[in-house]
Amino acid sequence: MQSYFIQYTITYCATTVLCAFLMIYMAVKMDRDVGNFIEIRIFRNMIAMELMVIFVETIWRLLFLTGFQFDQYAYWFLNYLDMIGSIGALYYLMRFVEVRLNPAFKHDNYKQKRWSQALVIPWLVGIAVNIFSYWTHWTYYITLDSLYHRGPYYFIQVLCCYFYPIITIGMISYWAIHDRVRRKKSMQLLIFLLFPFLGGLFQVFISIAPFSVMSTMLGLFYLFSSIQSDRINTDALTGLNNRNRSRDYLESRLKNADNRPFYLAICDVNEFKKINDTYGHVNGDHALIAIANTFKEFGSTHHGFFASRYGGDEFLMAVDAQNVTPTSLRNTFNEALAEQIIKEDLGFDLTVCFGFAYCNTAQAPLMDLISKAAQAPLMDLISKADQALYEDKKRKKDHKNKMVP
């Protein structure tokens, strides 16, 4: 019986340590190519909290194996760390979902900052109650033989833990119902939540295996691999198609350009460097996200629409040429962008320039800022749009200089 207990404890601890190393690997590999810096920071904080729980649980198991006796202070401290890690992981999970589904969330906005601060309260309550329980035995107490017992107000700790999953599920449900663009991300996050939920249930009824740790690790791995998979065709910051995806799409579309003519447009943010220098790179990211969200809304009302982040502050757009002109497209987009700026409360002006290229084997209409590309190869088409963009930016710059006395 003793040898079985030793083998069981060693296997249990080895499993949790392996899970810990896999979590560390995911935290290290989570870089700017996978998500924005806020997502990365929150994801790593979430893993740090999980590692704290794993550390405590492993130490506790090894203490029982060796029979080494700490005093009550040491056991209280281990329980304290376990509580911080458990509730902290749920808190950062909620924050990750919040930022993942709403990349434009601004932590420096007054109302959103107050909301963020309010969400920390249950975690702080759990910490405070846990500290005072050393003397009051409210939520737990440890006897002289180092055994853990729940106190009469243990439910307070349970409520603090379950507060965050409830809020998290509420946010996922809201975005899944109200925003079709974010529906895929919502489903990914919902599946991710199922792993620790089911693992927790197994842990309650079968405590001899680290189901909770393993299921959390599997959930994190599913989320991490899903994000990595999306990265193949998706820009991490904006959620739009990336440059590789735009190349494949346009090469395919060019083959049918004679039957389905379209406009290719390159969009560039005006004075983006000045925005970064004046308001910081965080707000620069928010500006790019606002433009991306405008493209997403814009695409829902235009046929044959495709948009991608082409690189830096440049975006690429393709749209059917039927019943639209470059002027109408530009004006409609600028109006939508102005509404998006107000909606996301950017706090600064944001404008863009467009360069259009018309792709059709037939004679292209004579319009301002249009370059004809009859069966042109892709790079030639992009080059013509880029030249039109340069001319548009130059014209606006000259106009601005004339306005300045």
User: In this predicted model, which residue has the larger pLDDT, 239 or 268?
Assistant: 268
When mean pLDDT is compared over 147-156, 264-273, 366-375, the highest value belongs to 264-273
* pLDDT at residue 308, as a whole number: 92
Residue 178 in tokens = 């109200």
Q: Are residues 188 and 335 in the same domain?
A: no
- How many CB atoms sit inside 10 A of residue 355's CB? 24
Range of the domain at 178: 2-231
* pLDDT at residue 24, as a whole number: 92
DSSP codes of every residue in 292-342: HHHHHHHHTTSTT-EEEEEETTEEEEEEE-TT--HHHHHHHHHHHHHHHHH
Q: Are residues 118 and 58 in the same domain?
A: yes
Domain final residue pick, 172, 197, 231: 231
Residue 208 to residues 9, 13, 330: CA-CA distances in angstroms?
Answer: 9, 11, 63
Q: Please give the angle made by the CA atoms of 90, 95 and 99, to the nearest 5 degrees.
A: 150
Bridge partners, residue 316, by sequence: 266, 308
Domain final residue pick, 205, 231, 257: 231
Q: Are residues 262 and 397 in the same domain?
A: yes
pLDDT tens digits along 244-258: 888 888 888 887 777
Query: Is the full-model pTM beyond 0.75?
Result: no
Q: Are residues 328 and 219 in the same domain?
A: no
Residue 405 has pLDDT above 60, yes or no: no
Residue 221 to residues 16, 50, 201: CA-CA distances in angstroms?
Answer: 15, 13, 20
Place of tokens 């107050």: 114
Q: What are phi and psi of 213, to 5 degrees?
A: -65, -45
Bridge partners, residue 284, by sequence: none
Tell me the H-state helices in 209-325. 211-231, 243-254, 272-279, 281-299
Give the residue-averaged pLDDT of 60-89: 79
Q: In this structure, is residue 262 part of a structural domain?
A: yes
pLDDT tens digits along 8-60: 778 888 888 899 999 999 888 877 555 667 788 888 999 999 999 999 888 88
Instruction: Report the domain count for the chain.
Output: 2
Let me know: does 193 contact 176? Beta carbons within 8 Å.
no
Domain final residue pick, 189, 210, 231: 231
Residue 223 in tokens = 């989320």
